[in-house]
A and B are shown apart, each in its own frame.
Chain A
Amino acid sequence: SAVISQKPSRDICQRGTSLTIQCQVDSQVTMMFWYRQQPGQSLTLIATANQGSEATYESGFVIDKFPISRPNLTFSTLTVSNMSPEDSSIYLCSVAGSTDTQYFGPGTRLTVL
Protein backbone atom coordinates (compact mmCIF):
# COMPACT_ATOMS: atom_id res chain seq x y z
CA SER A 1 0.00 0.00 0.00
CA ALA A 2 1.04 3.63 -0.49
CA VAL A 3 2.87 5.60 2.17
CA ILE A 4 0.83 8.63 3.13
CA SER A 5 2.02 11.59 5.17
CA GLN A 6 0.16 14.57 6.53
CA LYS A 7 1.40 17.93 7.76
CA PRO A 8 1.00 19.21 10.36
CA SER A 9 0.40 16.23 12.64
CA ARG A 10 -1.33 18.51 15.12
CA ASP A 11 -1.97 22.18 15.67
CA ILE A 12 -3.66 24.54 18.08
CA CYS A 13 -5.25 27.54 16.40
CA GLN A 14 -7.19 30.62 17.36
CA ARG A 15 -10.77 31.07 16.25
CA GLY A 16 -11.19 33.05 13.07
CA THR A 17 -7.92 31.87 11.55
CA SER A 18 -7.36 29.30 8.80
CA LEU A 19 -5.18 26.20 8.64
CA THR A 20 -4.00 24.35 5.57
CA ILE A 21 -3.35 20.62 5.91
CA GLN A 22 -1.16 18.82 3.42
CA CYS A 23 -1.43 15.22 2.27
CA GLN A 24 1.46 13.64 0.35
CA VAL A 25 1.52 10.16 -1.16
CA ASP A 26 4.65 8.34 -2.29
CA SER A 27 3.03 7.10 -5.51
CA GLN A 28 0.40 8.29 -7.96
CA VAL A 29 -3.13 7.46 -6.88
CA THR A 30 -6.45 7.77 -8.62
CA MET A 31 -8.57 8.98 -5.76
CA MET A 32 -7.90 11.16 -2.75
CA PHE A 33 -10.42 11.94 -0.04
CA TRP A 34 -10.67 14.14 3.03
CA TYR A 35 -12.48 13.03 6.20
CA ARG A 36 -13.30 14.67 9.50
CA GLN A 37 -13.48 12.80 12.79
CA GLN A 38 -14.94 14.85 15.59
CA PRO A 39 -13.99 13.87 19.15
CA GLY A 40 -15.31 10.44 20.03
CA GLN A 41 -17.14 10.16 16.73
CA SER A 42 -16.90 8.21 13.51
CA LEU A 43 -15.44 9.44 10.24
CA THR A 44 -17.39 11.68 7.93
CA LEU A 45 -16.40 12.29 4.34
CA ILE A 46 -15.85 15.98 3.59
CA ALA A 47 -15.01 15.77 -0.09
CA THR A 48 -13.32 13.91 -2.90
CA ALA A 49 -10.25 15.75 -4.15
CA ASN A 50 -10.24 15.68 -7.95
CA GLN A 51 -7.01 16.18 -9.83
CA GLY A 52 -7.19 19.24 -12.04
CA SER A 53 -10.77 20.16 -11.18
CA GLU A 54 -12.93 21.30 -8.30
CA ALA A 55 -13.44 18.95 -5.40
CA THR A 56 -16.74 17.10 -4.94
CA TYR A 57 -18.24 18.03 -1.59
CA GLU A 58 -20.59 15.97 0.55
CA SER A 59 -23.80 17.32 1.94
CA GLY A 60 -23.12 19.75 4.76
CA PHE A 61 -19.67 20.76 3.57
CA VAL A 62 -18.96 23.76 1.34
CA ILE A 63 -16.00 25.00 -0.62
CA ASP A 64 -15.84 28.35 1.17
CA LYS A 65 -15.29 26.62 4.49
CA PHE A 66 -13.13 23.72 3.29
CA PRO A 67 -11.31 24.68 0.09
CA ILE A 68 -9.38 21.76 -1.39
CA SER A 69 -6.62 21.65 -3.94
CA ARG A 70 -5.18 18.70 -5.82
CA PRO A 71 -2.56 19.90 -8.27
CA ASN A 72 -1.26 16.40 -9.13
CA LEU A 73 -1.77 12.70 -8.44
CA THR A 74 0.36 12.61 -5.29
CA PHE A 75 -0.59 15.74 -3.35
CA SER A 76 -3.64 17.48 -1.92
CA THR A 77 -4.41 20.21 0.59
CA LEU A 78 -7.42 20.89 2.75
CA THR A 79 -7.92 24.32 4.28
CA VAL A 80 -10.15 24.80 7.29
CA SER A 81 -11.25 28.43 7.04
CA ASN A 82 -12.48 30.89 9.62
CA MET A 83 -12.17 28.28 12.32
CA SER A 84 -14.37 27.93 15.37
CA PRO A 85 -14.06 25.53 18.32
CA GLU A 86 -16.55 23.23 16.57
CA ASP A 87 -13.90 22.57 13.93
CA SER A 88 -11.72 20.84 16.51
CA SER A 89 -11.33 17.37 15.03
CA ILE A 90 -8.95 14.92 13.47
CA TYR A 91 -8.71 15.49 9.73
CA LEU A 92 -7.63 12.50 7.68
CA CYS A 93 -6.79 12.10 4.05
CA SER A 94 -7.18 8.78 2.32
CA VAL A 95 -6.18 7.42 -1.06
CA ALA A 96 -7.46 4.68 -3.32
CA GLY A 97 -5.95 3.20 -6.45
CA SER A 98 -7.33 0.71 -8.93
CA THR A 99 -9.31 -1.00 -6.19
CA ASP A 100 -11.64 0.86 -3.87
CA THR A 101 -9.69 0.06 -0.74
CA GLN A 102 -8.92 3.34 0.99
CA TYR A 103 -5.72 3.76 2.92
CA PHE A 104 -5.51 6.55 5.43
CA GLY A 105 -2.88 9.03 6.43
CA PRO A 106 -1.87 9.49 10.07
CA GLY A 107 -4.30 12.38 10.54
CA THR A 108 -4.02 15.97 11.70
CA ARG A 109 -5.29 16.74 15.19
CA LEU A 110 -6.72 20.24 15.21
CA THR A 111 -7.71 22.14 18.32
CA VAL A 112 -9.39 25.51 17.94
CA LEU A 113 -9.44 27.79 20.97
Chain B
Amino acid sequence: AQKVTQAQTEISVVEKEDVTLDCVYETRDTTYYLFWYKQPPSGELVFLIRRNSFDEQNEISGRYSWNFQKSTSSFNFTITASQVVDSAVYFCALSEARGRGGGSNYKLTFGKGTLLTVNP
Protein backbone atom coordinates (compact mmCIF):
# COMPACT_ATOMS: atom_id res chain seq x y z
CA ALA B 1 0.00 0.00 0.00
CA GLN B 2 1.07 3.51 -0.73
CA LYS B 3 1.88 5.81 2.14
CA VAL B 4 3.08 9.39 2.43
CA THR B 5 4.35 10.78 5.72
CA GLN B 6 4.75 14.46 6.45
CA ALA B 7 6.03 14.39 9.99
CA GLN B 8 5.91 18.15 10.47
CA THR B 9 2.36 19.14 11.32
CA GLU B 10 3.07 22.84 11.70
CA ILE B 11 6.08 25.04 11.08
CA SER B 12 6.38 28.70 11.97
CA VAL B 13 9.18 30.89 10.65
CA VAL B 14 10.00 34.55 10.37
CA GLU B 15 10.04 36.15 6.96
CA LYS B 16 13.28 35.67 4.99
CA GLU B 17 14.16 32.47 6.80
CA ASP B 18 14.71 29.31 4.79
CA VAL B 19 12.39 26.41 5.55
CA THR B 20 12.37 22.76 4.53
CA LEU B 21 9.25 20.63 4.46
CA ASP B 22 9.87 16.91 4.78
CA CYS B 23 8.15 14.14 2.88
CA VAL B 24 8.81 10.42 3.15
CA TYR B 25 6.96 7.88 1.05
CA GLU B 26 6.41 4.15 0.78
CA THR B 27 5.55 2.26 -2.39
CA ARG B 28 6.15 -1.10 -4.02
CA ASP B 29 5.88 0.37 -7.50
CA THR B 30 9.06 0.83 -9.48
CA THR B 31 7.44 3.58 -11.52
CA TYR B 32 5.72 6.31 -9.62
CA TYR B 33 5.34 10.06 -9.41
CA LEU B 34 5.71 12.44 -6.51
CA PHE B 35 3.97 15.78 -6.20
CA TRP B 36 3.81 18.85 -4.04
CA TYR B 37 0.68 20.96 -3.78
CA LYS B 38 0.04 24.22 -1.96
CA GLN B 39 -3.28 25.01 -0.31
CA PRO B 40 -3.55 28.67 0.73
CA PRO B 41 -6.30 29.82 3.10
CA SER B 42 -8.64 30.25 0.12
CA GLY B 43 -8.76 26.45 -0.08
CA GLU B 44 -7.75 25.89 -3.68
CA LEU B 45 -5.10 23.25 -4.24
CA VAL B 46 -2.25 24.58 -6.38
CA PHE B 47 0.06 22.20 -8.22
CA LEU B 48 3.76 22.97 -7.61
CA ILE B 49 5.82 20.12 -9.00
CA ARG B 50 5.78 16.58 -10.32
CA ARG B 51 8.80 14.29 -10.20
CA ASN B 52 8.99 10.81 -11.69
CA SER B 53 10.82 7.97 -9.99
CA PHE B 54 13.51 7.78 -12.66
CA ASP B 55 14.59 11.38 -12.34
CA GLU B 56 16.54 12.06 -9.18
CA GLN B 57 17.86 15.43 -10.25
CA ASN B 58 17.06 18.19 -7.85
CA GLU B 59 14.96 21.00 -9.19
CA ILE B 60 14.93 24.70 -8.49
CA SER B 61 12.21 27.13 -9.42
CA GLY B 62 12.79 30.61 -8.10
CA ARG B 63 12.74 30.43 -4.32
CA TYR B 64 11.50 26.83 -4.38
CA SER B 65 13.71 23.77 -4.59
CA TRP B 66 13.07 20.06 -4.28
CA ASN B 67 15.43 17.31 -3.18
CA PHE B 68 14.45 13.80 -4.31
CA GLN B 69 16.43 10.96 -2.75
CA LYS B 70 15.27 7.53 -3.77
CA SER B 71 17.69 5.83 -1.36
CA THR B 72 15.84 7.33 1.59
CA SER B 73 12.41 7.54 -0.09
CA SER B 74 12.27 11.24 0.53
CA PHE B 75 11.10 14.20 -1.50
CA ASN B 76 11.77 17.33 0.52
CA PHE B 77 10.74 20.86 -0.38
CA THR B 78 12.74 23.96 0.54
CA ILE B 79 11.56 27.54 0.39
CA THR B 80 14.40 30.03 0.41
CA ALA B 81 13.90 33.50 1.85
CA SER B 82 10.33 32.78 2.88
CA GLN B 83 7.60 35.37 2.46
CA VAL B 84 4.27 35.91 4.17
CA VAL B 85 2.51 34.83 0.97
CA ASP B 86 4.09 31.40 1.38
CA SER B 87 1.84 30.77 4.36
CA ALA B 88 -0.29 27.77 3.44
CA VAL B 89 -0.74 24.06 3.95
CA TYR B 90 1.65 22.08 1.78
CA PHE B 91 0.80 18.54 0.72
CA CYS B 92 3.14 15.91 -0.61
CA ALA B 93 1.47 13.22 -2.73
CA LEU B 94 2.36 9.96 -4.42
CA SER B 95 0.68 8.53 -7.48
CA GLU B 96 -0.08 4.89 -7.82
CA ALA B 97 -0.48 3.36 -11.26
CA ARG B 98 -3.56 1.17 -11.30
CA GLY B 99 -4.64 -1.31 -13.94
CA ARG B 100 -3.01 -1.94 -17.27
CA GLY B 101 -3.44 -0.66 -20.76
CA GLY B 102 -3.37 2.79 -22.25
CA GLY B 103 -4.40 6.04 -20.69
CA SER B 104 -3.64 7.40 -17.28
CA ASN B 105 -5.21 5.62 -14.38
CA TYR B 106 -3.56 6.99 -11.30
CA LYS B 107 -4.61 7.42 -7.72
CA LEU B 108 -3.03 10.13 -5.59
CA THR B 109 -2.20 9.37 -2.00
CA PHE B 110 -1.71 12.50 0.04
CA GLY B 111 0.27 13.12 3.18
CA LYS B 112 -1.47 14.85 6.07
CA GLY B 113 0.02 18.19 5.12
CA THR B 114 2.29 20.72 6.80
CA LEU B 115 0.90 24.07 7.86
CA LEU B 116 3.54 26.70 7.19
CA THR B 117 3.12 30.08 8.81
CA VAL B 118 5.50 32.83 7.78
CA ASN B 119 5.42 35.74 10.17
CA PRO B 120 6.44 39.26 9.17
Q: A interface vs B, CB < 8 Å?
A: 1, 30-31, 33, 41-45, 48, 58, 90, 92, 94, 96-107, 109
Contacts and interface: CB of A to CB of B under 8 A. Distances in A.
A44 B35 CA distance: 15
Nearest to A58: B107
Nearest to A103: B47
B47 A101 contact: yes
Given A30-B103, A94-B45, A99-B104, 11 more contacts: A42-B110, A43-B108, A44-B110, A45-B108, A48-B107, A90-B43, A94-B108, A97-B104, A100-B104, A102-B108, A106-B43
A101 B50 contact: yes
Contacts of B46: 104
Contacts, number: 60
Secondary structure of the B contact surface, majority rule: strand
Contacts of B103: 30-31
Interface residues of B, number: 23
A43 B91 contact: yes
A90 B40 CA distance: 14
Nearest to B32: A100
B95 A100 contact: yes
B47 A42 contact: no
28 contacts: A1-B47, A30-B103, A31-B103, A31-B104, A31-B106, A41-B112, A42-B91, A42-B110, A43-B45, A44-B110, A45-B107, A48-B107, A94-B45, A94-B108, A98-B104, A99-B50, A100-B95, A100-B97, A100-B106, A101-B33, A101-B35, A101-B50, A102-B35, A102-B108, A104-B37, A104-B47, A106-B43, A109-B43
